[in-house]
Copies of this chain bind each other. A is one copy, B any other.
Amino acid sequence: MRQDKILIVGTGALGSFYGALLSKAGADVSVVCRSDYPTVKQNGFQIKSDELGNWTFKPSQVLKSTAEYKDQADYIILCTKVIPEIDCVELIKPAVDSETRITLIQNGVEIEQPLVKAFPDNEIISGLAFVCCNRIAPGLTHHIAYGKLTLGQVNQAGQASISSQHLADLINKAGIESKVSEQILTDRWLKCLWNAPFNPLSVLSGGLSTADILSTQEVLIRKIMQEVMHIAHACGHPLAADSIETNIRNTYAMPPYKTSMLLDYERYQTMEIEAILGNTLSAAKREKISCPTLETLYSLMKLIEIRVNKIQH
């Protein structure tokens, strides 16, 4: 069987980890990496996994941009943050071939549409990662726990995608659970049910853990989740009636956890406010759903962003 050609775009914690897994499973994996280019070009990535042990991931090609890719990609996997300053379409366009499947492993809701529009003839696969891993130094990624990847085809809704399954098989082969979902967009809304309260609240509280937030503001958390439920439903992605209960229960059972927005905030990096809250609010506006709590959180996060920008510049 022919070796899969995979191009990972964005090699933070997520991109390096899943790239390393796919390489481990036998794929030909190249990477486009920005800030860590010199280190990765020379030494590849060191992966320290508490679950799978340590190994070196030597990408087939280490590139500064997709235009330099000297091959035909079967899969492009987008692992960048979803922030306004990154134009995902422009970023990958030079390496998209007629046969390339475009996969995104990213945060947020309603983030697929620009790719679906720009590449109408390519298969678009949306991926949700439930993983705890950190980039602890250039080219050094620490995989702490979890890793489950859920993949689903976006532009031929309702059909199980052979390509999604193939990608999931590779990840499974590398030792991390991965599965195909036939309702990946609904899965995104389900993830948003958790992200929409806990990400902004972890920042707005000045850095409290999910445990502290939930144990003192469960009513507020439920109110936010309820608003997300309404929006998801109006968007044609009704969530199971017990979704809120399940999320609350699971969060109580989790160890104290720092959200991705909080980690970005603590490093004065751009937060995924638009992908998680902005897109949720746009959907609410479009579907005429009232969500005063989410609106307030969004406004407050935009204020926090001003301060981060001042420190960045």
Q: List A residues at the B interface (Cβ < 8 Å).
A: 201, 204-208, 212-213, 216-217, 219-220, 292-293, 296-297, 299-300, 302-304, 306-307
The number of times this chain is found in the oligomer is 2
Min CB–CB distance A277 → chain B (angstroms): 13
Beyond A206-B304, A208-B307, A296-B297, 10 extra complex contacts between A and B, CB < 8 Å: A201-B303, A204-B303, A205-B300, A206-B303, A206-B307, A208-B303, A219-B299, A220-B299, A293-B296, A300-B300
Contacts of A219 in B (CB 8 A): 299
Which of B212, B292, B302, B306 contacts A292, CB < 8 Å? B292
Min CB–CB distance A284 → chain B (angstroms): 14
Given contacts A296-B220, A296-B296, contact A306 B212 (CB under 8 A): yes
Tell me the bound Cα distance from A11 to B86 in angstroms: 53
Tell me the bound Cα distance from A208 to B303 in angstroms: 8
Min CB–CB distance A154 → chain B (angstroms): 33
Nearest CB in chain B to that of A206: its residue: B307
Tell me the bound Cα distance from A292 to B205 in angstroms: 18
